Structure 1
Amino acid sequence: MDELFFKLQRVSVKINNDLEWNFTTCIPFGTPYSAIDGVMPLLWLELETLCNNISHISQRLEIVEKVRAFVNQAIGEQQKLHTKLETTLDLVAKAQNEAEDGVNSLQKAKQDNRAL
């Protein structure tokens, strides 16, 4: 179930002296820190490097929007998993209630048999 939980990480990317972009990323809970340390900083460094090498602000914003879309997709996937988890928990609760009803019926039947 670890993949159903996400760790939020606040990230600030300084594109140049007058443009800084802040956003929140979703990293699956349970992801090894070595993977986070190895991949995430590279993504942010790549974004910063790309933006520093592009002088036109509209091109920089286009890159930022692509990364933002990627992050939003991760958030959407998290929400889908959360919905699946809720559905699964509802089914488990229903099955538990049915099992408890069955146990209660069996206990009542035992008592009725003893009374005979």
Structure 2
Amino acid sequence: MLPGDSAEDVRGKARDVWRRTIPALVVAAGLTDSQRETAIEYCLTVARLWQAERELSRTGLVVETERGNVKSPWVTIAHQYRSHFRSLVGELGLSPASATRITPPDFGGDDDGDVFD
């Protein structure tokens, strides 16, 4: 079972994803303040996907109802968040394929590209 089970765990996970991912995107991809909402959505999506996976670990893929055993609603939720995650990964350049389409920012200057110069 995955750890955690509260809304605070979701916020904490989103905060961790932000701290681990967004500063690198600012430097590597030139993520700007106007793209902040997409970055926030990415962090929340990762956290909610983890929440769905945690619930699936806890309750299983199949749940018992009055009508018998059915697919857990968390399976659908996880699938939807995973699909949204993939689209955000592409937008933010976080996959190897999408990273090749990201143009690093030009910080200006007359540097010839040598970091030790």
Could you say which structure has the larger radius of gyration?
1
Q: TM-score, normalised by structure 1?
A: 0.36
Higher relative contact order (CA 8 A, sep 6+): 2
Q: TM-score, normalised by structure 2?
A: 0.36
Write 1 or 2 for the structure with the bigger share of strand: 1
